[in-house]
Amino acid sequence: MSQLQSLYQYIWLPDHLATHYDWLKFTEPTWNLTTYRITYTPKSGASFPAIVELITAAYLKDKFYKEHEYLLGKSRLGRGRTVTEDDIAVFDEMWAKCEPRVIQDAKQFGGASIDDHTRCHFEGWVEERDMADRFPDYRMFTVIDEESLQSLLSGPVPEERQVGMQYRIGHYAKLVEAWQEIYPPPFMGWMKCSLPGLWDIWRNMQDGCYMKDSARL
């Protein structure tokens, strides 16, 4: 299938999803969210796999599929392009190619700083692949330190999450922007990102935005 055929077949996709789909068709076969583990207490070792699952298989997936629910709702109201229940197959196809990238090495990253260590390591990996600023995979990453790990230990699954900002920000990962500009406080190149906000920022970064523009998610 050519890129022109792809765009024609799924013309109902909004720009950020069409770009995402075409990236997977014509540039790389997978997409991911990189997570660095920098806490290595005994409790963190037992709970870390479940936390990665909560971030990706629960929240990232939930918000990703809500894109289809939103488009379907608009279509049923006669607004926007026609979208059907069967069109969820496109989302299934893209989600099947999501392969989270987890970096954990107690010797190298135990107690590492965000600015001087994990960001430098991430940027070096991106430069080796010649992918700087080309896709959200290469523009941002998450860090799980002891503080964010403690907030995530009691993190509810999406279906059980209470509504309200106090609950939204109570469970978070630290989300870091690569090659960040020097910004004044409160945004210093990284942020505490709520679990529901992870996909929102991933999507915004694909549209060419900077993390500071999404710092309240």
Q: Give the pLDDT confidence score for residue 4 in this predicted structure.
A: 46
Mean pLDDT of 70-86: 80
pLDDT for 208 equals 65
Minimal CA–CA distance to 35: which of 96, 135, 118, 115? 118
- What mean pLDDT, rounded, does the chain reach? 85
Instruction: Name, of 5-9, 183-187, 189-193, 212-216, the range with top average pLDDT.
Output: 189-193
pLDDT of residue 205: 86
The answer to whether the beta carbons of residues 142 and 176 sit under 8 Å apart is yes
Tell me how far apart the alpha carbons of residues 149 and 198 are, in angstroms, rounded to a whole number: 16
Dihedral, CA of residue 183, residue 185, residue 189 and residue 192, to nearest 10: -160
State in Å, rounded, how far the first CA of the chain is from the last one.
Answer: 37
Q: pLDDT confidence of 155, banded at 50, 70, 90?
A: confident
Tell me what the mean pLDDT of segment 170-198 comes to: 83
What's the whole-number mean pLDDT along residues 27-47?
Answer: 94
Under 8 Å between Cβ of 12 and 82: yes
157 secondary structure, DSSP code: P
Q: Which residues pair with 101 in a beta bridge?
A: 34
pLDDT of residue 2: 46
How many Å apart are CA 195 and CA 200, to the nearest integer? 10
Taking 60 as the threshold, does the pLDDT of residue 217 lie above it?
Answer: no
**pLDDT at residue 162 is higher than 80:** no
The residues facing 194 across adjacent strands are: 172
Q: Report the half-sphere exposure of 63 (CA within 13 A, side-chain side).
A: 16
Residues of the chain with pLDDT > 70: what percent?
84
